């Protein structure tokens, strides 16, 4: 199983990072934050190979490139069916996104399915659970052969996510803040680097990568690495745009 970061930042695009988006085996996308589509183009991804899109939650930094992505694959001449899944309430949000961008249902000539996933529901080889974030948010666990990958999306430290991620080969965990920013982490229901490291240690994840570092914290990237690794007890990777990880 191969993971590619289409976006490794969070909250806003920076010169270095697009907002959250990961591509698994060049067929399944998790989140489409702003800037992800540009990185997809840079990687030369074949639009017709993409089968499924999962949106974790409906904050702008995770969903803003969804409609531009759908426009792009339509313009590229897509013919194959595409499924888009999101959390409870997603169907209404998708309709509003389509309407506010003046995108009619008839614009898409390929078969497009939009559906909601309930917390705990399984879709094919992908399991879900609810995180502890400021709005309803899905975490995902992907199984492919003997490999397992968990993508937490946005969450503060959450025992349910720890249980969900137990013994995975790779845990991709958000880390938006550092320890001196713990108060705002609690207010916004985002993780600090230490919280992420704790989750990885308690889940006994074999490897761990952080994402969602926002632009103001990019100069402190080494602190993210140090704080998360100290809590995890092993080296933690820092996600960067266009990076690949074999699972």
* Domain residue ranges in the chain: 2-246
Q: Among 203, 152, 205, 210, which Cα is nearest to 31's?
A: 152
Q: What is the pLDDT of residues 221-247, one digit of tens each?
A: 999 999 999 999 999 999 999 999 999
Query: Is the overall model pTM greater than 0.95, yes or no?
Result: yes
Q: What is the pLDDT of residues 151-160, one digit of tens each?
A: 999 999 999 9
Q: What is the pLDDT of residues 48-84, one digit of tens each?
A: 889 999 999 999 999 999 999 999 999 999 999 999 9
Under CATH, which number does the domain 2-246 receive?
3.60.15.10
* Complete edge-to-edge strand list for the sheet that includes strand 138-144: 126-130, 138-144, 147-151, 170-174, 207-211, 237-238
Q: Which residues contact 92 (CB under 8 A, 6 or more apart)?
A: none
Q: Among 1, 3, 8, which Cα is nearest to 240's?
A: 8
Which DSSP state fits 106? G
């Amino acid at each position: 199983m191969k993971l590619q970061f289409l976006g490794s930042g969070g909250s806003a695009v920076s010169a270095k990072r697009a907002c959250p988006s990961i591509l698994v085996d060049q067929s399944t996308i998790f989140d489409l934050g702003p800037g992800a589509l540009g990185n997809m183009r840079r990687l030369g991804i074949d639009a017709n190979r993409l089968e499924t899109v999962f949106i974790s939650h409906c904050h702008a930094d995770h969903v803003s490139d969804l409609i531009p992505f759908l426009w792009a694959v339509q313009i590229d001449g897509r013919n194959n069916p595409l499924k888009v899944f999101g959390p409870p309430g997603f169907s209404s949000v998708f309709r509003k996104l389509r309407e506010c961008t003046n995108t009619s249902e008839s614009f898409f000539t390929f078969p497009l399915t939009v559906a909601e996933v309930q917390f705990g529901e399984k879709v094919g080889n992908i399991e879900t659970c609810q995180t502890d974030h400021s709005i309803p948010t899905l975490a995902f666990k992907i199984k492919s052969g003997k490999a397992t990958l968990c993508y937490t999306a946005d969450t503060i430290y959450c025992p349910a996510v720890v249980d969900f991620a137990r013994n995975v080969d790779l845990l991709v965990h958000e880390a938006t803040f550092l320890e001196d920013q713990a108060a705002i982490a609690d207010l916004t229901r985002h993780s600090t680097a230490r919280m992420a490291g704790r989750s990885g240690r308690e889940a006994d994840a074999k490897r761990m990568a952080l994402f969602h570092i926002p632009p103001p914290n990019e100069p402190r990237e080494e602190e993210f690495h140090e704080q998360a690794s100290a809590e995890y007890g092993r080296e933690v990777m820092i996600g960067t745009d266009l990076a690949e990880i074999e699972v």
